[in-house]
Each structure stands twice: as structure tokens, then as C-alpha cells.
Amino acid sequence: MRMLALFLVVGSLALGATADTVSTSAGDVKITPVMHGTVLLEIDGRAWYVDPWSKADYSSLPKADVILITDIHGDHMDPKAIATIRKSNTQIVAPAAVAKTVTEAKVLANGEATELFGVQIEAIPMYNVQRGPAPGKLFHDKGRGNGYVLTVRGKRLYFSGDTEGVAEMRNLKNIDVAFVCMNLPYTMPPDEAAVAVKAFKPKVVYPYHYRGSDLKVFAAGLEGQGVEIRERKWY
């Protein structure tokens, strides 16, 4: 399939957020960074949320048609936020660990894919390799949580969830827009995030879920790589 040109048009949004538009000949995808790891996509008039967190203000944002949840931690799986933005027909996609609490969720395991409203959803492993709360324990065990790749009319958007720069991230192909986490102690520092991003080279990367991280280190690690960095107001 012929890849369509990617253009990001920057606009303003209430509450200080910034809305970007991924434009294709078949229509636009609007991207709104909301807070921390929460992202809003507007696709064909439908609102898709990734990891809605109740610390954000949703009063000026649309109700959800689709919610993607990556993991069980409270800044990703937040029943209060789900209740705030959901409608009677909202569809939720999540890993099995999340579905124990959000019981109505459609379960998607690492490596599986599904389709909603013409958008393909792939579940990408997200996990720690070395970091955890105690010796022999990890903050995120492999297989428990999902990152996601959404394919929208030939465009591929990646949401890392909480992860280190694991092989499954580094081996991604043809990613147009990536949202990549970086915060210690739970995921990885910005220099490690830059190494991972260099491996799969998305056209555009948004650092997100980065509270306390130095984004200048991330930018320095990607200098000269041809990856456009989009810093937005998440906090």
C-alpha cells in the first residue's frame, strides 16, 4: 500500500494542550496529548483514548468511543477516569490483567491483533528487563501489559506504555508516530529511550510519561537521526 505523506499541523486547545493533525488523503487523525500517559486520538469522528487518568481534566474533551488500557497501575488503569469519559457503547481493549478489574474489556494479549472501526490494533509487549521494586522483582513483568500499534489508513502509531527499550520496541517497523515513555525508576531514563528510538526510527516521536526526566538528554541522543521530536505539555 502506498504510504501517504505525513504532515503535522499544530494548533491550540483549551487547558494549554496542543493538538496535532496527522493528515492523509483519506482524512485527518487528530492527536491531543492530555496528561502523563493519556492521549486522545480523533479518528473518523470517534474519540480514542489511551490510558485515561483521572488527574486530567476531561471537561472540554469528547466522550470515548474506544479506550485502550496498557497496564494495571493506577496512572494507566483508572476506573474513575473510565467512568468519566465512557458512553453506553464505549469499547475497551486491554490485557487480561486489566480485565480482572475492567471486566467489560476485550482482552488482547501480547502479539495479538484486532480491528475496531477500520483501525487495526496490535498488542506489543511492554516490560522491564532490569528495574524493579526489589531484587528478583520487576515493576512490569513480560506478558502482563500491552503497548499498542494502531494502523490508521496506512499510518502506524505506536504507544509504548510502561517499558524499557525492549527488543519488541527496537524491532518495530514503519512507525510514523511514536509515543515513548521515560521515567525512573519505573521505565527507563531518556538516554536509554533515545537508543531504543534510534533502533526503529519513527518519523515523529513524542516523549510522554516523562515526569522528572530531562528531555534535553533524549533530544541529544537522537541528534542527526532524522527523527522529529515533538515536545508537548503533559504536566
Contact 218, 182 (CB under 8 A): yes
Cell 474513575 maps to which residue? 80
- CA–CA separation, 153 vs 142, rounded Å? 30
- Give per-residue pLDDT as tens, 184-203: 999 999 999 999 999 999 99
Cell 526503529 maps to which residue? 200
Contact 51, 68 (CB under 8 A): yes
Topology classification of domain 8-229: Metallo-beta-lactamase; Chain A (3.60.15)
- Give per-residue pLDDT as tens, 65-87: 999 999 999 999 999 999 999 99
Strand ranges inside 95-191, DSSP E: 106-107, 113-116, 119-126, 145-152, 155-159, 177-181
Q: Coil, strand, or helix at residue 195?
A: helix
- CA–CA separation, 88 vs 103, rounded Å? 15
Identify the band that residue 98 occupies on the pLDDT scale cut at 50, 70 and 90. very high
Buried b / exposed e across 192-223, counting CB within 10 Å, b at 16+?
bbbebbbebbbbbbbbbbbeebeeeebbebbe
Strand-pairing partners, residue 10, are 20
The number of angstroms, rounded, from the C-alpha of 204 to the middle of its chain's C-alpha atoms is 13
Q: Which three cell numbers stand for residue 74?
A: 493506577
Candidate from 19-23, 155-159, 179-183 with smallest mean pLDDT: 19-23
- pTM of the entire structure? 0.92
Contact 101, 157 (CB under 8 A): no
pLDDT at 135 over 80: yes
> What type of residue is 228?
E
Q: Which three cell numbers stand for residue 116?
A: 475496531
Q: Coil, strand, or helix at residue 149?
A: strand
